[in-house]
Every structure is written in C-alpha cells, then in structure tokens.
Amino acid sequence: MTKSCIFDPENLLNLIHKKAYETPFYLYDSHLLQAILKAAIKAKEAVFGAYGHIHYAMKANHNKAILQMIQSYDLGVDCVSGGEIKCAIDAGFAGNQVVFAGVGKTDLEICDALKAGIFAFNCESLQEAEVIDQFAREMNVKAQICFRVNPDINVNTHHYISTGSYDNKFGIAFEDVYQWLNTRYKHTSHIQFIGCHYHIGSQIIDMTSFSKLTESILAHYKQLTGNGFEIKHINVGGGLGINYSDPFAQQIVDFKTYFNAFAPLSNLQGVNIHFELGRSLVGQIGVLISKVLFTKKTAGSHFAILDAGMTELMRPALYQAEHKIIALNPLAASKFEKYTLAGPICESSDIFAKNLLLPEIQRGNFIAIYSVGAYGKVLSSEYNLRPKVKEFLL
C-alpha cells in the first residue's frame, strides 16, 4: 500500500520547514490520491466490469489539480450546482460525463446544463422533471433524467448528513414516482426517463445500510420493468465513510466490501450501475497545517489558540466532527497536557477538540489536522474577513 508522506509527522514537519508556507494551509498528496483511485476502479471492475461507473462527487473537493487528476482516470463527475458543472468542464470533464443532482436547481442552472449536454439530471421532485421538460422543449433538446428515490432508510451517521429517510428534504417517495410515470410522463416530450437515483447519506461505515438499499433498488426495478418501463441506469449515490479516528491505519477504504454490498445489482442484464464517491476518494489525502498563536489556562481549560479556525475547517463546528490532530514539534515530547484546541474566530463554537492529550506545546508549534481532503476547503469562508486559505498539491 502507498505510504503517504503527509501522514508521517516527521516527514511532514521537514516539508513544512522546506516549503515555508504561511499557515494555515492545506496539503494534498497526489500519490495517495492516485493509489486510492486505482483501488476504487479495480474493486468496481471486479464486481461490475464495464457496467460500473464512478462519478466523483466534487462537492467534497473542487481543487482544479485534483479534478484534473481524477478526470485523467476517466471518471465521471457528480455536480450539485451550475458552478460545479462549469468548474468540472473547465477542469477537462466532458458534458456527457456530468450528472447533475441538487434539490433546488435554478432555471438558469437547468438551461446551462442543457446547453452543456450533460449525461443526466437527478431529479429531486416531480415538478422539477416537468420544468426540465419545458426548458428542453424550448431549446429543442432531449434531456435524460433519473428520479432520486427516497427509500426511507435510516443510517447511523450525523443527522445533518442523513438523506435517505422521509423526513429529509431530498428525493421522492417511490410510490409518487411510479404514479407520475403512469400518468404524467406520457404528456412530456423532451425528457427521457432512464432510471432511478438514490443517496442515503454520508460517512456511512456500516455496510448493511448499503445492502438494505440494494434490496429496495431491486424491488423498485422489478416493479418498474414489470410494468413496461425500461431501466438502463441505476445510480446508487455515494456515502462511503473514512476512518477519521485513525487515518494512519486506513489510508485507503475497503472498496471491495463496499462494491460487494451492491453485487446483486450486477445480475441486472444490460443495466449500468453508477456510484457517486467523494469523501472516500479524497478525504484522506489532505492535512490542514496550523500554528499555535497563544496558550493560556483558565479555571476550566488549558487552551491552545491556533491560527486556523472554523473559517478554514468547518466540520467540527458544524457536525461536531472529530479529526486526528497531532502536534508536530512539541516543546517536550515526554510531558503531556490536556488542551482545548481553539481557533481565532469570534464564535464559541470555533473549537477543534476539547481536552485533547498532547505533548506540551508552545507558541509557534505546528499542528496537523488530518483527514481534511473532503469538506475542508470547500466549506471555508471569509467570515471575520479572513483571507482565503491556500491549498498545495504535493
């Protein structure tokens, strides 16, 4: 297995001194990314062969160099906005490699996607399909659509990133899709229904959730094809999680087990199975480097104030997410203290970790926050008029 240079604290510290980048900044490892892509493609082909297709979910990370590397492996791309479609095409993806999801596509985004000749729209409401038909008719083009079906599967993940139960804003109940196809679809002229799309959530590590999804998909497929509808494509979404607590132990996720959870779908003759992987491809390739500005003790905590905050990495404040954090050049490696690592932003939620046991640190020490290749830079902001955090691909 490829050993990432940015996972080794000593190598990482040497690199920081050599490059002398101003903190905070993101580092990405291109060699690890390539190893992950190769592992994912190999595992997918072992189960689905030419009928399996991976679309990179670029909401995880839209760094242009990373996009170009992913495109070079002939993956498609999953976009959730017009801006992402433009970014993907600028990075080298063809229009017919793009699937366009998102619960609130604007009129302009729909028209621009039609002009770009995208592969398919993942429709999140019945009304959306009719709006796409209207614009496609006006432009005299044919649009391929999949309906995003909400299978009402609850997954063991943070409730903010659970998307497959009926109380989520995403998708449509299968019964409503089935009724619309039997009543309204015949009145449309410029959309072609090609299959169903699913996505039950993110950071899923329990593979039984994907097995349950497979069971639902097979039932839906049987009902649709049994009533005369041709299903050429099934998009199972993404959601595969990574190891945040110990990234050293698992730089590359278990793609084999993941794809095997969907193996029954490989028995559907002539049906293309699509996967939208994001976090599992890029999550482990990134490290956020910060510097200790000040340390102070209060009656309740021993604080280390960093120059990175929630404006650089939002996940801890937004999801109460926990990342592996290491002090790269501590003052005394033999003396340990419990620290609350806090950012400089004027919000009490700007905390990366509480009571984290670290070797004694002081002003000027470097701190590495791991597993930030996904939903790191893309969620950053200029709140407090902070400068944009920089990224470097090694």
Contact 77, 289 (CB under 8 A): no
Contact 273, 53 (CB under 8 A): yes
Q: Where are the domains of the chain?
A: 31-282, 284-393
pLDDT tens digits for range 107-154: 999 999 999 999 999 999 999 999 999 999 999 999 999 999 998 776
316 phi-psi bin (left φ>0, alpha ψ -120 to 50, beta other) = alpha
Please tell me what DSSP assigns to residue 244: S
Tell me which CATH code domain 31-282 carries.
Answer: 3.20.20.10
Coil vs helix vs strand at 149: strand
Give the pair of three-digit tokens for residue 302. 């021993």
* 320 φ/ψ angles, rounded to the nearest 5 degrees: 55, 35
Q: Write down the pLDDT at residue 386.
A: 97
Separation of alpha carbons 94 and 53, rounded Å: 15
Residue ranges in the chain whose pLDDT is less than 70? 1-3, 5, 154-167, 332
Please tell me what DSSP assigns to residue 388: P
Separation of alpha carbons 378 and 21, rounded Å: 20
Give the pair of three-digit tokens for residue 118. 């995208």
Amino acid at position 207, single letter: M
Coil vs helix vs strand at 68: helix
In sign, the C-alpha dihedral spanning 73, 232, 264, 176 is: positive
Separation of alpha carbons 84 and 105, rounded Å: 12
Please tell me what DSSP assigns to residue 162: B
Q: Report the candidate in 247, 215, 229, 223 with the shortest Cα–Cα distance to residue 322.
A: 247
Give the pair of three-digit tokens for residue 378. 């893309």
Q: Write down the pLDDT at residue 391.
A: 97
Give the pair of three-digit tokens for residue 62. 């839209």
Q: Other CB atoms closer than 10 Å to residue 268's CB: what's the count?
A: 17
State the CATH architecture for 284-393. Beta Barrel (2.40)
Contact 386, 306 (CB under 8 A): no
Amino acid at position 289, single letter: I
Q: Write down the pLDDT at residue 331.
A: 72
Coil vs helix vs strand at 13: helix
Q: Write down the pLDDT at residue 19.
A: 87
Q: Write down the pLDDT at residue 158.
A: 41
Give the pair of three-digit tokens for residue 125. 């409401």
**Cα dihedral 63→313→253→244 (10° resolution):** 170
Give the pair of three-digit tokens for residue 259. 């794809």
Amino acid at position 192, single letter: Q
